[in-house]
Amino acid sequence: MTPRAAPLVAAAILLAGCSSLGPPTIARDRFDYVSSISESWKRQMLLNVVKVRYSDTPVFLDVTSVINAYGIEGTISLGGQATPAGREGDTFASLGGSAVYQDHPTITYAPLSGDKFSRSVMTPIPVTGILALVESGYPVDVVLRFCVNSINGLENTRGGLSAGRAGDEEFRELLELLRAEQTANGPPVYSAEKRREFYLYLRPPADEAARARQHRILELLGLQPGRAEYPIRYGVRKGEPGEVVIQSRSMLQVLADFASYVDVPPEDVAEGRAYPTHRTPEDLARFPPLVAVRSAASAPENAYVSVEYRGRWFWISDRDYRSKGALSFLMLMFSLTESDASASAPVLTVPAR
């Protein structure tokens, strides 16, 4: 190295050591980790749906924290020797340097078990949480179809090993009418007391068609017309006159219902590996499938999400927006049932020095 080049090299090392690692890593790490966590969450949810169809135990593993620590260290040394005039010897200069780059990601996982598993998976979804989704604009027919077993004695369809039911025609009609009311006049529910209390609210009808629709909604629910609002609460049987009683599902029941639409090989059902479904074509016409989970022996193409289980691939097509939306809604509902907010979302900390 020539003496002239030595100062340039030294300046480059010093500038590199003084620059901050923090800002450039934020955009990269935030989106990379979000994408990875999101993709793994989708796969975990789909895998648990498939496992339930095979009467296997669903297992949920939370990513509780993501910590990525960066470090960079550099050293530089300069040396030289000059020989006075008239003496023998060499005149030389030396430059030395070293740098160390460190990247230490630490990811923490926590299995969902014990009391937390019971609250999140086995306890009925709070009715207030379900109705809050409707009030915030989610389609009322989708929310109630996913999350409710019955409304004032009208039974929803449901699938599962021991709890399959065809569902009442009146329940399907109620969902259609409530969706039409939501489209015409906004959410048919409103909340009070900071969303601790909810009421069925039908706005004054604008025309005869709206009047007939609202009259039929009240008739199906067994409610007398003439009131502005009707309180909604959780329960199994039909409540007092003027009340709307909803029996909500647990997340385990929602998973079982989803699992009943998983495409499994007929031989797996015949051999008892997966439980059978007993829906007739009429049942499927009245209550269309919530989700389409396909299966094949080889890995799929154009899959929105796919998992391998028992040597077979199961997936949701990227071209099936209804099924993609259904899985996303299932993940949203699972998040709402998380009682420990500190563990419901991974935290990414990137200290840099």
Give pLDDT tens digits for 140-170.
Answer: 999 999 999 999 999 999 887 665 678 899 9
User: Domains of the chain: which residue ranges?
Assistant: 18-111, 124-338
**CB proximity list for 161: less than 8 A, separation 6 or greater:** 55, 256, 275
Give the dihedral of Cα atoms 150, 156, 159, 165; nearest 10 deg: 100
Q: Which range is least confidently modeled, 2-16, 83-97, 245-259?
A: 2-16
- Residue 163's pLDDT is what? 59
Q: Which two tokens stand for residue 331?
A: 């993940």
Q: Which range is least confidently modeled, 21-30, 185-194, 220-229, 263-272?
A: 21-30
Query: What is this structure's pTM?
Result: 0.76
Of the pLDDT bands very low, low, confident and very high (cuts 50, 70, 90), residue 14 is very low
Give pLDDT tens digits for 318-349.
Answer: 999 999 999 999 988 887 776 444 444 444 44
Distance CA 218, CA 174 (A): 9
Q: Is the pLDDT of residue 66 over 70?
A: yes
Report the half-sphere exposure of 51 (CA within 13 A, side-chain side): 14
